[in-house]
Amino acid sequence: MAQKVDLTRFIPSMARVDGAEQPVLIPVRRWYDALLFGEGDEPIERWNSKVHQDLNSPTASTDCWTWTASVNRDGYGEFSLAGLTVRAHMILWALEHGSPPAYVFGPKGWEKVHLGHRCHDRDETCEGGPQCLHRRCVNPDPGHLQLQSHSANIRAGLAGARQQRKTHCPSDHPYAEHGFVYTDPRGTTRRYCRACQNGLRAAEFVGSRKALEVAA
């Protein structure tokens, strides 16, 4: 989906997105400046101390580097830098490739850019979601992390298709009996089990109650 973008807030550049060099917009990032011009190697040493890079680590595949510190609600690693919370998988990638772009210009105009997990896209057995260990992978190799347009990221991850194939929640409650979907304040459609959630996310519901549909 094309985005309306204030071009004065970004630095125009070129980057390899979806496997091809394309025009991109890169925001000024305080955490990236701190990574490059901070005190010595302290940030990267601290980052390294939170990563498993051996075969005995809790990992998604043998060559994933697993983030072992805190993760956000979506399952992505979090790293504190310059007073900001940054997704952990961006740190070493940015050190090697530069500050990741926020938008890429494609056939439909400006579109958001993700630093997508290719290791997840290749794993047909992974159901995705916050428990997916691929989301904790911080290996900057192109086989693991790659810049993707928003539409390519959705197609590659097949997250929607995986969710639609599920008939039961993680606690094995049938969605047809106990399930519902709703749209959160960010516009993302989410699927939850009534029996498990029991109204815990009621404050996040938007729109009318008619918008809640029993998930089949």
pLDDT digits (tens, 9 = 90+) for 150-200: 988 887 765 555 555 667 776 677 766 666 665 555 555 566 677 776 644
Tell me the average pLDDT of the chain.
80
Q: For residues 42-49, give the mean pLDDT.
A: 92
Pairing relationship of beta strands 84-87 and 20-27 according to DSSP bridges = unpaired
| Residue 69 to residue 78: CA distance in whole angstroms | 7
Please give the pLDDT value at position 195: 72
Strands 103-106 and 109-117: antiparallel
Q: What is the pLDDT of residue 203?
A: 39
pLDDT at 8 > cutoff 70: yes
- Give CA separation, 109 vs 13, 25, 27, 149, in Å: 15, 12, 17, 11
Q: What pLDDT is attached to residue 165? A: 62
- What pLDDT, on a 0 to 100 scale, did the predictor assign at position 55? 67
